[in-house]
Amino acid sequence: MENKNRLYLIAIAVLAVALITTVIILCCKNSTLKELVGQMEVEKEQLQEEYQSLNDEFSEYQTDMTIHNDSLVSELSKEQQRVQDLLEELKITKATNAKKIAELKQELASVRATLKEYAKQIDALKAQNQLLMDENSVLQDEKSTLTDVVNRASVLEVTSCSVVKYTKRGAKTPLAGLTRSVGITFHIAKNLAAKEGERVVELKIYDPSNYEVARLYKNFTFYGNAIDLETVWELDKAPKAGEYAVSFSINDECIGNYSFNL
């Protein structure tokens, strides 16, 4: 009887050990499974981030105003839509669906390779656009320079000036003390590049102290040929003796400066 009880106890002990071992194994497997599922979830999140980053890259290219190629922009738009569709598909895919996750990884690699090729085309287009802009800038500078040359060439020029002093009776005099008017004669050179038409020459006269003492105007019609013009500076009293300056201008643009003595 005692032997029989002993066998029962041994059997129960063996079963208990087997049960405990089974529980331990199941717990370990469950822990490993949870860890594996957790890794899959992390992997899925990383894949989603990569897809979102790729989508953002496409958006940057889409909004790049330097890309002036409708065909390329259209292709970029299609590929971006593909990325967005794949991203939505990834969001509804279970992390444990290893086969589908692997397929989406391959799709990601494919789209990345496509974007890389587009990036090369875009860089080439940008370089070409920059070259064209640089060439256009050079042309604009040359045009501006040529315009300046033409404008300068079309400006009239006073090439000589002479004065005669007159008394109040209209007689010529060499003396400043007797001078009551000054006749100013000036020569405008021939210029076929200048536009024909009415002109007004402004004369500003400065005394020996460089103080403006008179401002005169002379109307004339220019036809391209040289022309001599004459005007008179009337004085209320005898001028101060010394060197005077006269500045000629048309439309506030200086066309000559001369000096004379009184």
In this predicted model, what pLDDT tens digit does every residue of 78-88 receive, in sequence order?
877 877 887 78
pLDDT tens profile 72-112: 777 777 877 877 887 787 777 776 677 777 787 788 788 77
> Tokens standing for 183?
């006749």
Q: In this structure, is residue 153 part of a structural domain?
A: no
CATH number at residue 171: 2.60.40.2360
CA atoms within 13 A on the CB side of 51: 23
| Cα–Cα dist 143/145, whole Å | 5
144 and 168 inside one domain: no
10 and 77 inside one domain: yes
Instruction: Show which of 127, 148, 169 is a domain's final residue.
Output: 148
Confirm whether pTM is higher than 0.85: no
| Higher-scoring residue by pLDDT: 16, 125 | 125
97 and 221 inside one domain: no
Instruction: Show which of 87, 120, 148 is a domain's final residue.
Output: 148
70 and 103 inside one domain: yes
| Cα–Cα dist 171/180, whole Å | 10
Calculate what percentage of the chain has a pLDDT beyond 70: 76
Q: In this structure, is residue 235 part of a structural domain?
A: yes
110 and 164 inside one domain: no
Angle at 50 between CA 48 and CA 52, to 5 degrees: 70
Rama region for 251: left / alpha / beta (φ>0; ψ in -120 to 50; rest): left
What pLDDT is recorded for position 104?
Answer: 77
Beta strand segments in 151-242, E = 158-166, 181-188, 197-206, 212-222, 227-234
Choose the weakest-confidence range: 32-36, 90-94, 98-102, 233-237: 32-36
Average pLDDT over all residues of the chain: 79
Q: For residue 93, how many other CB atoms are within 10 A of its CB?
A: 17
- Whole-Å CA distances, 179 to 62, 84, 231, 241, 253: 81, 94, 16, 10, 30
Structural domain boundaries enclosing 59:
2-148
| Cα–Cα dist 162/218, whole Å | 16
- Whole-Å CA distances, 193 to 83, 135, 237: 64, 29, 43
Domain count of the fold of the chain:
2
Q: In this structure, is residue 226 part of a structural domain?
A: yes
* 30: confidence class by pLDDT, cuts 50, 70, 90: low
| Cα–Cα dist 175/69, whole Å | 80
184 and 231 inside one domain: yes
| Higher-scoring residue by pLDDT: 18, 242 | 242
pLDDT tens profile 49-61: 877 887 787 777 7
Question: Above 80 in pLDDT, residue 258?
Answer: yes
136 and 217 inside one domain: no
H helical segments located in 63-97:
70-91
